[in-house]
Structure 1
Amino acid sequence: MSRTHPPVAQAQNSLPPRLGAMVAALTLTGIVGALTQTLVIPIVPLLPQLLDAKASDTAWAVTATLLCGAVSTPVAGRLGDMYGKRRMLLLGICLMLVGLVICALSDSLAPMVVGRALQGLAAGVVPLGVSIMREVLPAEKLPAATASMFGSLGVGAALGLPVSAVIVDNFDWHVLFWVSAVLSAVSAGLVVLLVPESSERTGGRFDLTGAAGMALGLVCLLLAVSKGQDWGWGSGTVLSLFAVAVIVLPLWGWFQLRTPKPLVDLRTTARPQVLLTNLAALALGLALFSMNMALPQLLQMPEATGYGLGKSLIATGLVMAPQGLTMMAVSPYGARITKSKGPKVTLMIGSAIVAAGYIITMVMMSGVWQVLVASCIVATGVGFAYGALPALIMEAVPVSETAAANGLNALMRSIGTTVSSAVAGLILAHMTTDFHSVHIPTENGLRAVLALGVGAGVLSFAFASLIPRRPPIEVPAPVESAAVKTAGAE
């Protein structure tokens, strides 16, 4: 059995130096993208004061990022397959950079929401990065590199909370966005210098009608789910949004099946391996957010409640940070399992660890070290599972559809996260106790949210177990671009 090293180091040790640097550059884009998504969390409670707006309005600083990210990810993937993955990757980073600068200069709600929406448009950087790796790297090195890319999501998210909390406590809040803008600029420069353009492009005409239909359906669905608790699940607005989604999305699917060059090839998506992998991704999105919803609240609740741990925001961030680092640390081991047993087995193992980790978390809630250990167990499972998802997708789709297929898989995780947020919010809103005239979630309420994670992990395992066993499709040898040839010469 071949030895396995950490993904980036492995690529650097066994590939020409320029290709190893390319993997590191792409991984950095994932870290910066995830960091940008989480950096606003510590200032969400302060936004009404900082922007002189109502709390219900400042919530759009988060919602806008979610909606734009969900819509843009499959669109960016399709455009990457058509016109060049590196080109679309750079466009996403540049949009993120512009959005960060707008937020850094803003003192009112409107520019903040616009800036956060632009940051959401960069959500496709990880699927695009994985698709570039498929074209450039030797097939045997791809599992480790893609696992590293998806592990970057955990690192960025883990660093976002404590770093943001430290900056907010010691500097002006605008510094959050300036720091991230600098990191985005560095990431863009490294992509320009080190990442080759796609050799595989489908060309053709972009399905604008399909993109508009998907955007309308998804925005209505996700907006209804994410705002249902605030607006009222039985309100006319929420019911109208659900009605539009129920009408538009089936019509969109009908149209996609009759379009020669659709935005999403639903026939490919309906293949058992692709469909079941996407359903597993949906369940994993549900699972991951349950931990991020329950544990920070548990850590920050006053000790006088009898179950809260009374930690500050910075301390909470430091306790939660190791889970992201754990995702990156376990990625080479997940890649080893994928190489020897196949990505299906890796996904099943990861899903089982996620479910077991949540069960352990439900029991170990009385101390900081217990929360730390339990969250790292869940993160281990997520790291294994996330690394297996793109491998399963790429086994089942041709190279010309890699970015679009990975983008759709990322969208399914995003939908899972949104649904999990809504369900967890509903649980915590109804399972409360009065603490000094303030309603806070009960201990059983927090356990119920963690139980949601258990169920999601079991569901992901079930979907993974149904994925048909078959040998992977033949992966064509990468077509060397000028950049790759130069790397080989070095």
Structure 2
Amino acid sequence: MTTTLDPSVRIGKAAVAAVGLLALATGALESVVTPTLPLLQRELDMSPAEGALLSIVLLITGALITPIAGKFGDRYGGKLVLVRLMALVSAGGLISALAPNLPVLLAGQVLQGAMVGALPLSFILMRKHLPAGESKVAIGLVSGLFVGGGMAGTLMAGPVAEGLSRHWMFALPTIVVIAATALVGKLFPPDPPGRSDGGGIDWPGLALLCGTLVTLMLVLALAPDLAAAQPVVLGGLVVLLAAFVTGWIIVERRVASPMVDLRMLARPAVWKSCVLTFVICVGTATPVYLVPQLLALPSDAYGFGASATAIGFFLLPGTIAATLAGPIAGIGARRFGARFVVTAGVVLLVAGLLGLALVHTAVWQVVAGKALIALANGLCVTAMVTSTATSVDQNDTGIATSLVLVTRVLGFAVGVQFSGALLTASIPAGSDVPAESAFVTSFVMAAAVTTLSLFVIRTMSKGAKE
């Protein structure tokens, strides 16, 4: 649907910059746990199972809150919902910063998970207050800054935690989130509520989706240990997962106001973006997890013995590439269409994965491969989100983009858990160093999975050129 922009409510560059700063800060806050998980396990006396729970709880709560945030943003206005959502995120960041033990830290992470819903709300604001052409570039910029913030969080978490304390690695990005939220509230005009379907929150659907995500993570995390020792338990988890998925689909198809409108998922532009996002993020998650592991392995094996600070430095080129990918993808989609940008991103992603599989004997090879993958992932995800956000009715922007972003979270979680399972299974008895072949196999499998996305890309429309 084509909408006429009211000149009186058009925003300026400062407002777009405020949303970009918010995306950068939330991306950083989202990513600080992963590189410092061993440190947190030591300081909080966590078991490996508790560490795994801490590493996925934000992803799970983010996947649950995102569809609700997008739906409420479409219904009540993006600014109102975004500011309230970021108040929860800020509270979670402060709780995590002050947490004296694991239960309190988990509570903070649960609240922080609401940050994943910030992106579809930001897209609602961009479309409401900018012309169509400018909104594509702005959405690309915001998406790129969120990705760049995630890389920046990975970069700074180790030095801050080692130089100051684990408390400050949560506190610093939280302070920026609070400031950026205040700027958004001041610089954006009140946006009128959109369409309302008159329904409330779909609590049964929310509960079933929660059960689905938790069970999926348990299956992926425990499969290597349970497959041989307790296959009956693993089989029971798989059956439970299937029951949760079936029940959720039934509820979402029948409830008057579903949490996730599956009719939206039936639209070709949306389901193709979701499939592509999932496949590409599974492939991207492999190097996100494996590259730091490879850099940290002892140099007398086949690693490089890098410290947390050194690893952050080695990932800096990837940070820059991921940050640039957002605006590049937005401009590329505007001039050449989304299909061209996604195809180019997939080709670069496969090249980077195969490059890491074939050559990883020098640091520069690993750094170059990771930077290429970060650029490719940013191009793909940003182009797909931008295409989806601008291919549906304006009142459906939040719902459609939230589906893509939930798929991104799921793909990343599946990719990380699967890569970790492969490494665990390859560790010889009496050793704590996985076989080098596990890294090669993981990179090759990720490249093969990513290549499959080209079959879906062929069916995409080229996309309008502005």
TM-score by length of structure 1 reads 0.87
* Structure-1 residue corresponding to 2:260: 264
Give unpaired runs (5+ residues) of structure 2.
Answer: 1-7
Worse-matched range after superposition: 453-462 or 354-363: 453-462
Secondary structure of 2:195's match? coil
Give the partner amino acid of 1:145. Answer: A
1:216 to 201, 210, 214: 210
Map 1:447-466 to 2 at 5 A.
447-466=440-459
Look up the match of 1:330. Answer: 325
Query: Partners in 2 of 1:230 and 1:454 — Cα distance?
Result: 22
- Which structure 2 residues correspond to residues 279-428 of structure 1 after superposition, within 5 A? 279-305=275-301, 307-428=302-423
Moved more, 160-169 or 52-61: 52-61
Deviation at 1:107, TM superposition (A): 1.4
Q: Distance in 2 between matches of 1:228 and 1:344?
A: 38
Q: Residue 19 of structure 2 contacts residue 142 of structure 2 at CA under 8 Å; is this kept in 1?
A: yes
The structural deviation recorded for 1:470 is 6.4
Q: What amino acid maps onto 2:242 in structure 1?
A: V
Aligned equivalent of 1:445: 438
CA contact (8 A) 2:199 2:256 kept: no
Aligned to 1:4: none
In structure 2, the CA distance between the partners of 1:285 and 1:174, relative to structure 1 (3 Å rule), is: same
Give the CA deviation at 1:428. 1.0
Name the SS for the 1:439 alignment partner: coil
Q: Secondary structure at the match of 2:433?
A: strand
Checking the alignment, whether the CA contact within 8 Å between 2:56 and 2:413 is kept in structure 1 is: no
- Which string of whole-angstrom CA distances, capped at 9 and with x for unpartnered residues, describes residues 245-271 of structure 1? 312323332333334433222122112
Percent of aligned pairs sharing the same letter: 23
The CA deviation at 1:337 is 2.3
Match of 2:76 in 1: 83
Query: Are 1:228 and 2:216 counterparts?
Result: no
Report deviation, 1:17. 9.9
- Which amino acid in 2 is paired with 1:219? L
User: What do the CA deviations read for 1:138-186 (whole angstroms, capped 9, x no partner)?
Assistant: 1111222111111113211211123111112211221222212211211
Task: Give the distance between the partners of 2:140 and 2:76, measured in 1 at CA.
Answer: 25
Q: Which amino acid aligns with 1:206?
A: G
Letter in 1 for 2:200: F
C-alpha deviation, 1:454, in angstroms: 0.8
Query: Residue 488 of structure 1 corresponds to which residue in structure 2?
Result: none
Structure 1 distance, partners of 2:84, 2:220, is 28
Counterpart Cα distance in 2 of 1:89 and 1:226: 33
Measured after TM superposition, the shift of residue 18 of structure 1 is: 4.9
**Aligned to 1:396, what secondary structure does the other structure show?**
coil
- Contact residue 70 and residue 218 of structure 1 kept, 8 A: no
Aligned: 1:139 with 2:141: no
Superposed displacement of residue 417, structure 1: 1.1
Per the alignment, in what secondary structure is the counterpart of residue 300 of structure 2? Answer: helix
Q: 1:251 is matched with which residue: 232, 238, 247? A: 247
What is the distance in 1 between the residues matched to 2:451 and 2:76? 39
Tell me the secondary structure at the aligned position of residue 458 of structure 2: helix
Task: Give how far 1:390 is off.
Answer: 1.7
8 Å Cα contact 1:281-1:460 kept in structure 2: no
- Whole-angstrom CA distance in 2 between matches of 1:76 and 1:243: 30
Q: TM-score, length-normalised on structure 2?
A: 0.91
Give the C-alpha shift of residue 278 in structure 1: 0.5
Matched, 1:159 2:155: no
CA RMSD of aligned residues (A): 2.4
Tell me the CA shift for residue 231 of structure 1: 6.4
Offset of 1:133 from its aligned partner?
Answer: 0.8
Offset of 1:213 from its aligned partner? 4.4
Match of 1:276 among 255, 272, 276: 272
Partner of 2:164: 171
Counterpart code for 1:32: A
1:53–1:368 CA distance, 2 compared to 1 (3 A) = closer
The answer to whether the 8 Å contact 1:224/1:242 transfers is no
Decide whether the 8 Å contact of 2:22 with 2:176 is kept in 1: no
Matched, 1:181 2:177: no
CA shift at 1:343, angstroms?
0.9
Whether the 8 Å contact between 1:29 and 1:126 is mirrored in structure 2 is no
Of 53-62 and 233-242, the range deviating more from structure 2: 233-242
* Aligned-pair CA distance for 1:453: 2.4
1:27–1:290 Cα change, 3 Å? same
Taking the aligned partners of 1:386 and 1:232, their CA distance within structure 2 comes to: 34
| Aligned CA distance change for structure 1 residues 162 and 327 (closer, same or farther; 3 Å) | closer
> SS at 2:305's partner residue?
coil
Unaligned runs of 5+ in 1: 1-14, 476-490
Query: 2 CA distance for matches of 1:142 and 1:375?
Result: 30
Bigger shift: residues 254-263 or 182-191? 254-263
- Asked whether the 8 Å contact 2:76–2:192 carries over to 1, the reply is no
The C-alpha deviation readout for 1:381-432, integer Å capped at 9, x for no partner, is: 1121122112221243211111111111111111111211222112112223
Going from structure 1 to structure 2, the CA distance change for 1:222 and 1:23 (only over 3 Å counts) comes to: farther
Residues 281 and 415 of structure 2 are in contact (CA less than 8 Å); yes or no, is this contact kept in structure 1?
yes
Q: State the Cα distance separating 1:304 from its structure 2 match.
A: 0.6
Number of equivalenced pairs: 456
